[in-house]
Structure 1
């Protein structure tokens, strides 16, 4: 596996399974080698992200050399994961995993189409043309919650196309939801899961921010917010079923911690690319530009944490995507949906590449190692 899947610069924080260890270990990358930096002072990803200067702390730990980065990437992607060799895990552990939705205009319109189609992909193409014609206004130029946005809302209601998705897309309140429980996300090379009931679904390439309990943004990583378009399209009240299933939240390969060379302004300028490669030979290319996000990342963080809601272990926040796949896969007008075995690769040079293979959630490795297991194992190892 090529090392260019991981940034060649910056302070990186990850988690890995290492043979002989009963619990996940914290790791970093130096000179294209993996080092174990787990200590009693900060034995979890959460603990490092709660420090005053996480990047400086990671750089200060000498660590124990584990092996070449390329070997561990290989095992993470194609290895047996039988416990004989190290492999990467999701880079977060005790943090809550949250997500913001409808933060880009293109995906906003696709959410409206899902709702109007009531989860039926065969109706999407005609609805897309009809709704685009009705909306008319360039919503990307509208500040959510502004007077101009409220005028557009009024006009759309009069046209009969108002939607709960338009409400969170241009209204005053951002959509923030729980993507999965702490310890439930998967990392680079793991299978990502689709609920077996879904027949219309897609990946969502996103940047995810790492936020401390104080609401401070300390780093960023890549995420795949696996989405079931038909389930959510039937009813927004099914959002939990559409979004939170076994292995449906992928993060990684590493957290890039903020330092003097990388910060929030750099995140706002990121350009993400995504490729879906199917076993049937189908290839789908997509992109998402953070410069086109309608709500600034810091405002999405403020909508998540504050006096109204606290996160004592910090949280991860998916920032949403402008990617909305409409390329026909099997039939004209049928649009895109996943097939089992699809390989999804989400990339940007500053954060690397998150690569996963699509399976049913019932076929992915079951989530069996939770916060209680981690705490017990850390205590047995003398790290608590």
Structure 2
């Protein structure tokens, strides 16, 4: 993670793997500073403070190495990992195609043409849940093209699902996993909000919501099997806390660049523009937390992606799918870069460090 001038001004919070166990770290002058303490043994504890940014800015700590020399973990710990789906019109159409193709990539190209002819530009610049959206919904129902994906894409209720178990996400530099059952899959470059238990959005980072297009396309009821697998969720490199140099408006205007570099020489480039999202980030947070559902340790919220790859990689008309060994980099000016290598979930390191292990580790270090 090399920081540009804009990023060097940022206030960063994350986690690093040290010999003694996971450490809460911040970044100062390119150096990682261990700020783990009894007052704040976890990232969650800092996020629940009245002024997390002030605490991190003033916290004393120990230099543990230069950025890039220390293994980075996902920057969250006790938080729930939630994700929003179908929040961009372009990727929403791709979900309809997946559904119509029943997860078969051979049928996708033909269906893409037909769906595009029927739907056309009717979903552009549409506000989810608006009267215009309701009108478009009725028109699509009459054409026989209504879909559960369109329901959550332009209807009043957003799709919010559990992406991964607490502490199971991997950080930058780690392998990211594909379930062996999948033959049609892709990365999903997203911004991830850091939200505390009170619903306050305190910062943002990057995420890869690995997507198994064939599994979810066969049935939306397979969503959890398609989304939550060993090493299938990457978050990082660090949370950039909101301060006078970075705010939610920067998130709203962020541009994400995706690069996939295959061992076969294949290169895929993509972009996701937050300005094209169909729902404001604050609305997505409100639909996640409130009187209807509480998160006492806060949560990380994937905001969805505009990116949906259609470029052929192997056979004409089959579009893109990962190859084992692909190097995936998701970058955004102001948030750094998240880089992971694609493996099968069955080949990635098993997830063994859960909540009990973390509590025992912290207790053994006299931090609880």
What is the CA-CA distance between 1:116 and the residue it aligns to?
A: 0.1
Q: Indicate if the aligned counterparts of 1:193 and 1:364 stay in contact, CA closer than 8 A.
A: yes
> Is 2:222 the counterpart of 1:224?
no
- Aligned residue for 1:243? 227
- Aligned residue for 2:331? 347
Task: Give distance in 2, aligned partners of 1:5 and 1:116.
Answer: 46
- Aligned residue for 1:383? 367
**What does residue range 59-98 of structure 1 map to in structure 2 within 5 Å?**
59-72=57-70, 87-98=71-82
Distance 1:144 1:334, change over 3 A: same
Structure 1, unmatched stretches of 5+, are 73-86
What is the CA-CA distance between 1:142 and the residue it aligns to?
A: 1.4
Q: Indicate if the aligned counterparts of 2:122 and 2:136 stay in contact, CA closer than 8 A.
A: no
- Aligned residue for 1:321? 305
> Is 2:14 the counterpart of 1:30?
no
Task: Give distance in 2, aligned partners of 1:60 and 1:184.
Answer: 30
What is the CA-CA distance between 1:332 and the residue it aligns to?
A: 1.2
> Which 4+ residue blocks in structure 1 deviate beyond 4 angstroms?
1-6
Task: Give distance in 2, aligned partners of 1:321 and 1:2.
Answer: 24
Say which SS state the counterpart of residue 8 (structure 2) adopts: coil
What is the CA-CA distance between 1:133 and the residue it aligns to?
A: 0.7
Q: Indicate if the aligned counterparts of 1:186 and 1:250 stay in contact, CA closer than 8 A.
A: yes
- Aligned residue for 1:51? 49
Say which SS state the counterpart of residue 177 (structure 2) adopts: strand
Task: Give distance in 2, aligned partners of 1:259 and 1:6.
Answer: 13
Q: Indicate if the aligned counterparts of 1:27 and 1:35 stay in contact, CA closer than 8 A.
A: yes
Which TM-score applies when normalising by structure 1?
0.94
- Aligned residue for 1:79? none
> Would you say how many aligned residue pairs link Structure 1 and Structure 2?
368
What is the CA-CA distance between 1:55 and the residue it aligns to?
A: 1.2
**What does residue range 361-372 of structure 1 map to in structure 2 within 5 Å?**
361-372=345-356
Deviations along 1:104-133, one digit per CA (max 9) or x if unpaired, are: 011000000000000000111111110011
Deviations along 1:257-281, one digit per CA (max 9) or x if unpaired, are: 1112111111101000000000000
Distance 1:221 1:2, change over 3 A: closer
What is the CA-CA distance between 1:5 and the residue it aligns to?
A: 12
Task: Give distance in 2, aligned partners of 1:155 and 1:18.
Answer: 57
What is the Cα-based RMSD across aligned positions, in Å?
1.2
Is 161-170 or 373-382 further displaced after alignment?
373-382
Deviations along 1:184-211, one digit per CA (max 9) or x if unpaired, are: 0000000000000000000000000000
Deviations along 1:306-349, one digit per CA (max 9) or x if unpaired, are: 00000000000000000000000011111000000000000012
Deviations along 1:74-122, one digit per CA (max 9) or x if unpaired, are: xxxxxxxxxxxxx111100000000000000110000000000000001
- Aligned residue for 2:8? 8
**What does residue range 98-177 of structure 1 map to in structure 2 within 5 Å?**
98-177=82-161
What is the CA-CA distance between 1:9 and the residue it aligns to?
A: 2.0
What is the CA-CA distance between 1:6 and the residue it aligns to?
A: 10
Task: Give distance in 2, aligned partners of 1:297 and 1:278.
Answer: 33
Structure 2, unmatched stretches of 5+, are none
Task: Give distance in 1, aligned partners of 2:125 and 2:113.
Answer: 20
Q: Indicate if the aligned counterparts of 2:2 and 2:336 stay in contact, CA closer than 8 A.
A: no
Which TM-score applies when normalising by structure 2?
0.98
- Aligned residue for 1:82? none
Q: Indicate if the aligned counterparts of 1:5 and 1:353 stay in contact, CA closer than 8 A.
A: no
> Is 2:271 the counterpart of 1:287?
yes
Q: Indicate if the aligned counterparts of 2:3 and 2:336 stay in contact, CA closer than 8 A.
A: no
Q: Indicate if the aligned counterparts of 1:6 and 1:253 stay in contact, CA closer than 8 A.
A: no
Task: Give distance in 1, aligned partners of 2:261 and 2:224.
Answer: 27
Task: Give distance in 1, aligned partners of 2:362 and 2:238.
Answer: 22
Say which SS state the counterpart of residue 68 (structure 2) adopts: helix
Task: Give distance in 2, aligned partners of 1:5 and 1:228.
Answer: 36
